[in-house]
Structure 1
Amino acid sequence: MLSSDDFALLDAIRETGSLSRAAVRLGKAPSSVSYAARQLEERFDALLFDRRRYRLQLTPAGELLVQEAARLMQDVTRLTQRVQQVANGWESRLRIVTDELLEFETLLPAIQEFDALDSGVPLRFTHEVLKGVWEALQDGRTDLVVGATNEPPAITGLRWMQLGQMDWVFAVSPKHPLAKADEPINRATIVQHRAVVVADSSRSSEGRTYGVSGGQSVLAVPTMHAKILAQRDGLGVGWLPRHRVTSLLKNGQLLEKQMADPREPNILYVGWRGEDEGRALKWWLEKLQQPYIATRLVNGTDRFA
Structure 2
Amino acid sequence: MKASVFVEENMKTFSTVARLASFSEAADELGLTTSGVSYIIKRLEESLGIKLFHRSTRKVELTEAGKYFHAKVQALLEEFRSIEEGMISIDKGVEAKLTICVNNLLHTPYHTTMLTKYIKNRFPSCQLRITTEVYGGVWDAISNQGIDVAIGAPGILIDGGGINYKELSSIHWQFAVAPHHPVAKLQEPIPDSQLRQYPAICVDDTASQMIKKIGWLLYGQEAIFVPDMDTKLYAQQAGSGIGFLPDYLVRDSLADGKLVTKTLQNPRQPSLMLLAWKSSLKGRVTEWIRDAFEPGEVLSKLYSDLMH
In the superposition, the TM-score normalised over structure 1's length comes to 0.79
Q: Measured at CA, do residues 272 and 20 of structure 1 come closer, stay the same or move farther in structure 2, by a change above 3 Å?
A: closer
- Look up the equivalent residue of 1:93 and give its one-letter code: K
Contact 1:102 1:298 in 2 (8 A): no
Alpha-carbon distance in 1 for matches of 2:124, 2:19: 35
- Look up the equivalent residue of 2:242 and give its one-letter code: V
Identity of aligned residues (%): 27
- Look up the equivalent residue of 1:160 and give its one-letter code: Y
Q: Which residue of 1 aligns with 2:234?
A: 229
Contact 1:171 1:240 in 2 (8 A): yes
Alpha-carbon distance in 1 for matches of 2:71, 2:188: 72
CA RMSD of aligned residues (A): 3.6
Alignment partner of 1:138 is 2:143: yes
Q: Which residue of 2 aligns with 1:196?
A: 201
Q: Which residue of 1 aligns with 2:91?
A: 87
- Look up the equivalent residue of 2:231 and give its one-letter code: A
Match of 1:168 among 159, 164, 173: 173
Q: Secondary structure at the match of 2:286?
A: helix
Tell me by how many angstroms 1:82 deviates: 0.7
Alpha-carbon distance in 1 for matches of 2:106, 2:65: 53
Alpha-carbon distance in 1 for matches of 2:261, 2:191: 14
Alpha-carbon distance in 2 for matches of 1:211, 1:4: 60
Alignment partner of 1:70 is 2:70: no
Contact 1:172 1:256 in 2 (8 A): yes
Alpha-carbon distance in 1 for matches of 2:111, 2:29: 51
Contact 1:99 1:129 in 2 (8 A): yes
- Look up the equivalent residue of 1:84 and give its one-letter code: I
In the superposition, the TM-score normalised over structure 2's length comes to 0.78
- Look up the equivalent residue of 1:39 and give its one-letter code: R
Q: Measured at CA, do residues 294 and 107 of structure 1 come closer, stay the same or move farther in structure 2, by a change above 3 Å?
A: farther
Q: Which residue of 2 aligns with 1:48?
A: 51
- Structure 2: which 5+ runs fail to align? none
Q: Secondary structure at the match of 1:147?
A: strand
Tell me by how many angstroms 1:76 deviates: 1.2
Alpha-carbon distance in 2 for matches of 1:4, 1:106: 39
Alignment partner of 1:283 is 2:297: no
Q: Secondary structure at the match of 2:106?
A: coil
- Look up the equivalent residue of 1:80 and give its one-letter code: E
Contact 1:107 1:297 in 2 (8 A): no
Tell me by how many angstroms 1:127 deviates: 2.1
Alignment partner of 1:220 is 2:251: no
Alpha-carbon distance in 2 for matches of 1:30, 1:265: 72
Q: Which residue of 2 aligns with 1:127?
A: 132
Contact 2:18 2:70 in 1 (8 A): no
Once structures 1 and 2 are overlaid, which stretch shifts more, 209-218 or 228-237? 209-218
- Look up the equivalent residue of 1:129 and give its one-letter code: V
Tell me by how many angstroms 1:145 deviates: 1.0
Match of 2:154 among 149, 158, 162: 149
CA deviation string 1:46-102 (max 9, x = no partner) = 133467988765555544443333222211110110110111111123332221112
Alpha-carbon distance in 2 for matches of 1:247, 1:10: 57
Q: Measured at CA, do residues 8 and 79 of structure 1 come closer, stay the same or move farther in structure 2, by a change above 3 Å?
A: closer
Q: Measured at CA, do residues 239 and 13 of structure 1 come closer, stay the same or move farther in structure 2, by a change above 3 Å?
A: closer
Contact 1:103 1:297 in 2 (8 A): no
Tell me by how many angstroms 1:237 deviates: 0.1
Q: Measured at CA, do residues 71 and 294 of structure 1 come closer, stay the same or move farther in structure 2, by a change above 3 Å?
A: closer
Once structures 1 and 2 are overlaid, which stretch shifts more, 63-72 or 137-146? 63-72
Tell me by how many angstroms 1:273 deviates: 0.6
- Structure 1: which 5+ runs fail to align? none
Q: Which residue of 2 aligns with 1:297?
A: 303
Q: Measured at CA, do residues 233 and 10 of structure 1 come closer, stay the same or move farther in structure 2, by a change above 3 Å?
A: same
- Look up the equivalent residue of 1:68 and give its one-letter code: K
Alpha-carbon distance in 2 for matches of 1:50, 1:287: 52
Q: Secondary structure at the match of 2:150?
A: strand
CA deviation string 1:233-268 (max 9, x = no partner) = 322101122344356557754333343443232221
Tell me by how many angstroms 1:15 deviates: 5.3
